[in-house]
Amino acid sequence: MNISDLRKKADSGNVVAQTVLGTCYLDGTEVEIDHSEAFRLLSLAADRGAARAMVSLARIYMEGLGVSKDLAEGIRWYERASRGGEFIAQIQLGRIYSQGKLRPANERLALEYYKAAVDQEAAVDEPGAIAEAKAYISRRENYK
């Protein structure tokens, strides 16, 4: 990965480069971890509709990485990313609403998000997450 090239593209407003470079700073991939730079870049991309950047922003808020931990804001970013069709956001929201750890459990919302994730099965390579979603759906539909 060419970090210098990504930086130039990100600085010129390329949303994909902002998302990729922001994620690099978030995870320390080929750069030192820098949560404030990750937040800056991912915010720019998310504000322009990049669903993958929204997922990373949600993680930043959920874990309090360089910002105050804000679970409600994290959930808002996951929900926004999910509306953009982002699989990881759908799985995370399924978990959040099925377990009731961050909010009261909400079976209807958990099913909605898990079903949206399963609908993308052919397009993603996440067999564990797909199996989790299918198991949750199956358990809930068998008890109705």
Name the CATH superfamily, with its identifier, for domain 1-84.
Tetratricopeptide repeat domain (1.25.40.10)
pLDDT at 19 over 80: yes
How is residue 68 written in tokens?
A: 């105050």
Q: How far apart are CA 62 and CA 57, in angstroms?
A: 9
Q: How far apart are CA 107 and CA 4, in angstroms?
A: 46
- Could you tell me the residue ranges of all domains in the chain? 1-84, 85-144
Run of H or E including 93 = helix 87-99
CA dihedral 34, 39, 40, 45 (to 10 degrees): 130
Q: Note the pLDDT tens digit of each residue in 81-118.
A: 999 999 999 999 999 999 876 667 788 899 999 999 99
pLDDT above 90 coverage of the chain, percent? 88
pLDDT at 138 over 70: yes
pLDDT at 140: 84
Task: Give 36's pLDDT tier (boundaries 50, 70, 90).
Answer: very high
Task: Give 20's pLDDT tier (boundaries 50, 70, 90).
Answer: very high
Mean pLDDT computed over 40-49: 98
pLDDT at 144 over 60: no
Q: Model-level pTM?
A: 0.90
Which candidate, 49, 55, 63, places its Cα nearest to that of 23? 55
Mean pLDDT computed over 60-73: 96
pLDDT at 143: 60
Q: Note the pLDDT tens digit of each residue in 112-133.
A: 999 999 999 999 999 999 999 9
